[in-house]
DNA sequence: ATAATAAAAGACCTTTTTATCTTTTATTAT
DNA sequence: ATAATAAAAGATAAAAAGGTCTTTTATTAT
């Protein structure tokens, strides 16, 4: 469904947000250890998110990744869009270049429903909301 | 969402079923022309479906691909399973190896809903049902 | 039997994705 | 200023997905 990049990205951001809520910055090493992701690969993904200012980073000692206290919630869809683009939400289910209400592919309407439900879900789910369960140990990020 | 293989496979089978309904067999060339798919690549996909007996093929002059009149409906999920496997229906949204009700990832439940809806849709949609709209020109397979 | 046709199979190539290793840049503490 | 730290950036490599080309096998019509 999502690319590896996106999976790592989401997992990393969940971890970063969780740590930020207790006021800590986290280094890429710790992130990748705790989230089970390849370090340099994930670093690049976080760079993208950092450039888009979805997350923040600071270099040097005591540096690391974090999100600001008063930052608006990060939505899953923000991360997916940033990393995988929005072909997932707009592309044809059968891979046709031209596929629309006017010239639909055979599964256009069936597929649209699923896609819309997915987009809705991603647009309504904030990372901040997910970290609660994580801290309660109800939910896991590794393995 | 689906792999290219799967997209080509579905498109090809829709075309084959449509032709079969008017009693014609179709060669791989005609299929790929009409469906806009790479020939040899698609041929291999159809071989897989043929081995699984989702579709039939006959070699030699007047040969080609077809489905039998009285064959049970081919469901989208049959094709997806045959080509992409069922990771789409069982895999974790965040790519965790271990992710279940007992040890859920942070988006386990949200993701499950979408995935189930997708599976349901694929399990309830038959190729035979899709070809009607195709013949009526309501729906398209190329471009 | 022979030639023609069409799928099956195999070898190979290209592109994209995923992953690693190295160097550079920015920041901090000493 | 210097050394240490940590992200950013760049180069390279491995793996997977996507795609092409050639040969083989089965079938049919002549």
Could you tell me how many helices (H) and strands (E) chain B has, helices first? 7, 2
**Residue pLDDT, tens place only, A113-140:** 999 999 999 999 999 999 999 999 999 9
CB contact burial A55-65 (16+ within 10 A = b; e otherwise): bbbeeeeeebb
Checking if the pLDDT of A143 tops 80, the result is: no
| Interchain contact, A106 vs B133, CB within 8 Å | yes
List, for residues B3-33, the tens digit of each pLDDT value.
999 999 999 999 999 999 999 999 999 999 9
Residue A109 clears pLDDT 90, i.e. is over it: yes
User: Which backbone phi and psi does A103 adopt, to 5 degrees?
Assistant: -135, 75
CA angle B81, B13, B32 (to 5 degrees): 120
Q: Is the CB of A59 under 7 A from strand C?
A: yes
Instruction: Record the tokens describing residue A93, joined without a space.
Output: 């289910």
B17 is near strand C: CB distance < 7 Å: no
- What's the pLDDT tens digit per position in A54-76? 999 999 999 999 999 999 999 99
Q: Which residues, including other chains, have CB under 8 Å from residue B69's CB and lie 6 or more apart?
A: B20
- Residue B24's CB is within 10 A of a number of other CB atoms, namely 12
The predicted pLDDT at position B16 comes to 98
Confidence (pLDDT) at A106: 97
Interface contact flag, A114 B118, Cβ < 8 Å: yes
Res B143: pLDDT: 77
Q: Which of residues 20-79 of B touch strand D (CB under 7 A)?
A: 38-41, 44, 58-63
- Facing A98 at nearest CB: one of B10, B113, B143: B143
pLDDT digits (tens, 9 = 90+) for A8-67: 999 999 999 999 999 999 999 999 999 999 999 999 999 999 999 999 999 999 999 999
**Average pLDDT by consecutive 10-residue portion of chain B (143 residues)?**
98 98 96 98 98 97 96 97 96 96 96 97 97 93 87
Element (H, E) at A66: strand A64-66
User: In terms of pLDDT, which residue wins out, A122 or A143?
Assistant: A122
Answer whether A104's CB lies under 8 Å from B140's CB: yes
Measured CB to CB, residues of chain A less than 8 Å from chain B are 1-2, 4, 7-8, 10-11, 14, 36, 76, 88, 91, 93-99, 103-108, 110-111, 113-115, 117-118, 121, 125, 130-131, 133-134, 138-143
pLDDT, averaged across chain A: 96
């Amino acid at each position: 469904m999502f690319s590896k990049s996106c999976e790592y990205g989401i997992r990393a951001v969940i971890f970063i947000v969780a740590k930020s809520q207790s006021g800590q910055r986290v280094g890429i090493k710790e992130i990748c250890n705790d989230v089970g992701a390849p370090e340099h690969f994930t670093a690049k993904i976080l760079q993208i998110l950092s450039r888009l200012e979805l997350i923040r980073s600071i270099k040097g000692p005591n540096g690391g990744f974090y999100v600001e206290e008063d930052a608006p919630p990060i939505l899953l869809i923000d991360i997916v869009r940033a990393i995988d683009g929005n072909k997932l939400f707009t592309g044809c289910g059968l891979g046709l270049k031209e596929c629309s209400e006017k010239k639909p592919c055979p599964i256009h309407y069936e597929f649209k429903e699923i896609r819309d439900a997915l987009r809705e879900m991603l647009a309504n789910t904030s990372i901040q909301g997910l970290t609660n369960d994580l801290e309660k140990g109800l939910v896991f990020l590794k393995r």
